[in-house]
Structure 1
Amino acid sequence: MIDRGKAGEGGEESAILIPLHEARRERQNALVSFDRRELDQILRVYGRMVAANEWRDYAIDHLSDRAVFSVFRRASETPLFQIVKDPKLAKKQGAFSVIAAGGLILKRGHELARVLGIFDKKLKLVHQA
């Protein structure tokens, strides 16, 4: 891994070499997190559910193997749902999943928007008499 920076007033570039084992160690110690676009999508759904008076609180956990956005009805309870980003599953079942309070995986996929679609209200046809 090479980090290039300006050296001195002449604008000459210098290269700083970082040993590969150090770069790997830094990457392994890094926490998994939601990026800005992912958080925007999650918070849109969260805002809609708060407006519908279904959710009231949330917590975000950045762990070494996954990132978790937990939603609560009350802060003192267990989470109603967890929106999980697990990069290890990205090539298999998809990095994103929605998990219910009992641990049941409700939806899993490669695209966050599709996974969050589980919270969309569907219009139902009411039988007219």
Structure 2
Amino acid sequence: MGDVEPIVLAHRAGTPAQPAVPATPPLKVTFDRRELDRILDLYGRMVALGEWRDYAIDFLRDKAVFAIFRRAMDVPLYRIEKDPRLARRQGMYSVVSQTGHILKRGHELPRVLAVLEKPLRSI
């Protein structure tokens, strides 16, 4: 125990010592403007086709969720989720089905949203 030197905090005269404050995580995870534009563009096209009718957005502490409904009183058909904790792993964006099955997950929102695009039909 005699070998351990005490840690001395030094600061310049006249400046207050800064307390060690841990970095606070953001209060809520949100979609930025570009992400929301992409999602609402897809949503608008699907509403025009009569597939979707309502949506809800929820900004939570750990993720942001855009829920898509066929009718206002139903369970969401799909959830588009943004979870920054997964950014270095599978990707922070995911599309989850009504049953909880992850349809697509990735690092780029447009690629993840492609799973919800309607295929073109020949006339």
TM-score w.r.t. the length of structure 1 is 0.76
Question: Could you tell me which residue of structure 1 aligns to residue 106 of structure 2?
Answer: 109
Structure 2 unaligned spans of 5+: 1-16
Q: Percent identity?
A: 56
1:8-59 CA deviation, whole Å, 9 max, x = no partner? xxxxxxxxx975526x23xx25200000000000000000110010100000
User: Relative to total residues, which structure has the larger helix share, 1 or 2?
Assistant: 1
Structure 1 unaligned spans of 5+: 1-16
Question: Could you tell me which residue of structure 2 aligns to residue 88 of structure 1?
Answer: 85
Residues matched between the structures, number: 107
Question: Could you tell me which residue of structure 1 aligns to residue 21 of structure 2?
Answer: 21
Question: Could you tell me which residue of structure 1 aligns to residue 28 of structure 2?
Answer: 31
User: How large is the RMSD of aligned CA atoms in angstroms?
Assistant: 1.9
User: Relative to total residues, which structure has the larger strand share, 1 or 2?
Assistant: 1
In terms of Rg, which structure is larger?
2
**How far did residue 123 of structure 1 move?**
3.4
Indicate whether 1:44 and 2:41 are aligned: yes
1:78-119 CA deviation, whole Å, 9 max, x = no partner? 100000000000000000000000000000000000000012
SS in structure 2 of the partner of residue 50 of structure 1: helix
